[in-house]
A and B are shown apart, each in its own frame.
Chain A
Amino acid sequence: MKTLTFSQALNTSLRDSMEHDAKVVLMGEDIGKLGGVFRITDGLQKDFGEHRVIDTPLAESGIVGAAIGLAFRGYRPVVEIQFDGFVYPAFDQIVSQLAKMHFRSRGNVKLPVTIRIPFGGGIGSPEHHSESPEAYFAHTAGLRVVSPSNPQDAYTMLQQAIADDDPVIFLEPKRRYHVRGEVDTDLVPEPGSLYRAKVAREGADLTLIAYGPLVKTALDAADAAADEGIDIEVIDLRSIEPVDFATLSTSVRKTGRVVITHEAGKFAGIGAELAASLTERCFDHLDHAPVRVTGFDIPYPPAKLENHHLPDLDRILDGVDRAMRRNAPLLGEDG
């Protein structure tokens, strides 16, 4: 067991993956000598060489397209997109090529490409540096989308994503990069556990679903709610696509109430899918319609306004109040 920051856990995970499999190559902008703008690849080029830690030209479509070609050749590329807002130039290569090649080739061509994207807000940056693009990718058949919320998962889930034969969009909550935690690098994860949700805190009154950066906020909210006598079960979704409906349904059937929170906008977001699917699956067990606490449906705002945009502890508790039919909800039923 080691104490590592989230970013150190990712770095260690990449190093261990590269040591384990000589076909693992890293690709991205500034990931070599600089170690990436977030230093996630720090020191790896020095140890593994320029052919395994590849500084690429500044062209995101090119990075993903070339990664596809390398995967065709038997490599297992791990791509770093520098910031969430810069992934869109690669959109065609991700949704029309990477996602569909296995289907197109009738299972003959596997593209085990992992696309790491530092995502989400809360770091005071200008536009394009704080986005939450998960719904675009989750909507695309052929992609798997995951997001760790803590250093242990960062370490384990990244190794699992790299080892997966399907393309995986790996969303790293950049505002949690500095968070420290215990990491067991000898932990052997159960097969398939990458796509399972985790009950991060058990509770009886309400199910609160979060992923990535908001899991910590959700746990804080559950602590605060406990002071008011509300016993919240927090679920760390971990895998956004596929969703572990078995774990979610079990929880919702137990509590009868569900609040879903994410930084991305509400309309056609992940929360919409979870709310609809959980209603379909658990309708007879629900005491209240699912409640979503999300970012607004706006372009990501300037840094001095982002605290209003991002769901925080109080807004999550407001959603909890609505689901519990307590008090006068501050944001109204459609909040």
Chain B
Amino acid sequence: MSITFDSSTPEGAEDYLQILAPDGTRHPCPELDHWVEEIDIPALENLYIDMACIRRLDTEGTALQRQGELGLWAPLLGQEAAQIGSGRALEHDDFIFPSYREHGVAYCRGIDPHDLLRMWRGAAPSGWNPYEVNMANQQIVIGAQTLHAAGYAMGLKFDGSAAAAITYFGDGATSQGDVSEAMVFAASYQAPVVFFCQNNHWAISEPVTRQTAGYIADRAKGFGLATWRVDGNDVVAVLAATRAALAHVRTGSGPAFIEAVTYRMGAHTTADDPTRYRDALELEEWAAKDPLDRVAAHLDTLGADLAALRERAKQATDDMAAGLREAITTMPDPEVDDLFAHVYSHPHPWLEEQRENYANYLAGFAENVQASK
């Protein structure tokens, strides 16, 4: 008897919480509606603008990589609702432990274009000071950051803080031991941390069905976490679920888990070629569930001025693009001395020796150049 894997997507529309359907229709969602009662037309418009901006950020990131300005870029295309919905649910004091794809969450933190691009350009090992924006630097080792969030949340609890920690990761990361260990630690100490899984269906070339035979959210339930499975392309539902999860963890009721079911419309990174492993029909299917289109369609049913909204979005996204371009053209290259900076927090004799020797070596070239003139 052979074992076969079902490569079809395991979820149907009825399997996750949804407020806005892909066609813009608003459904009653008793579990989530009360978390987004105040979301009116201007608030929806702001969410739309946010999503348009990070889509533009992403398009520009890919373009800058193609033009040789960035070494690599990890696209978020398709995941705008998951990142804006959750990012806009956070309070300033909440601390974020992201993976490497959360440019949209970083945007919600007001991180400036230089800092968003610095690491991808290869100009620095990371972009921003985590303590200025309450967001850790990107994590590239899959799932490692979830443990940092669990530990940070233990600290929040020991301190009696009202803040929460949130950690972002993908469907592939749920197979990592660290993610399971993070849930064990968080549950064991009832730490105020939200595990936010963007199930974007692909871990480079491996479908989510390679990571789990069931729902990812069901696994979290097994660890004793309060769990929401939500339409990750519905920004209102994601906002509501994240608010619900944050409220849950803030009351001391233990950690929470959100599976935001979304789709990675782009490549894993600019070094990837998804045409080698996935079907164009699948892309079409998900294009029909676009996060921005459904908000526009819904605003239309509410009688909002879509033309004005699109004009506003154009202005905001053009400003975003101009800011990114300006950041790239004005970003200084790192100094050679940066090689040795911050490896340790205080002097290390061996490294000081290497730094000095290399400086002398380089100075020798400069002297030779000078002498030959």
Contact = CB atoms under 8 A, between A and B. Distances in A.
23 contacts: A25-B158, A57-B181, A61-B177, A61-B181, A62-B185, A65-B150, A65-B181, A66-B151, A66-B182, A68-B151, A69-B153, A69-B155, A72-B148, A75-B155, A102-B345, A104-B126, A105-B125, A141-B351, A165-B346, A166-B344, A195-B349, A245-B349, A246-B349
Contact of A70 (B124, B137, B154): B154
A243 interface: yes
Contacts of B345: 102, 107, 110, 165-166
A108 interface: yes
Interface string A86-101: 0001001100110000
Interface size class of A (residues with CB under 8 A): 35 or more
A61 B178 CA distance: 7
A105 B181 contact: no
Contact of A104 (B125, B156, B185, B188): B125
Contacts of A69: 97, 147-155, 165
A242 B350 contact: yes
A103 interface: yes
A46 interface: no
Contacts of B342: 102-103, 105-107
A73 interface: yes
A40 to B, nearest CB: 22
A74 interface: yes
A323 B102 CA distance: 59
A53 to B, nearest CB: 12
Contacts of B151: 65-73
Interface of B: 95, 97, 124-126, 129-131, 136-137, 141, 144, 146-156, 158-159, 165, 177-178, 181-182, 184-185, 188, 341-346, 348-351
A135 to B, nearest CB: 15
Given A65-B178, A166-B344, A108 B130 contact: yes
- Identify the interface centre among A61, A66, A71, A109: most chain B CB within 10 Å of its CB: A66
Contacts of A109: 130-131, 136-137
Nearest to A277: B350
A110 B344 CA distance: 9
A74 B129 CA distance: 15
A229 B178 CA distance: 57
Interface in A91-137: 92-93, 96-97, 102-110
Interface in A27-79: 51, 56-57, 59, 61-62, 64-75
A212 interface: no
A103 B125 CA distance: 7
- 9 nearest CB pairs, A to B: A69-B151, A65-B147, A73-B155, A66-B151, A62-B181, A69-B152, A107-B342, A69-B148, A165-B345
Contacts of B147: 61-62, 64-66, 68-69, 93
A56 B191 CA distance: 13
A142 B343 contact: yes
Contact of A242 (B125, B126, B341, B349): B349
A102 B341 CA distance: 10
A144 interface: yes
A165 to B, nearest CB: 4
Contacts of B148: 65-66, 68-69, 72, 97
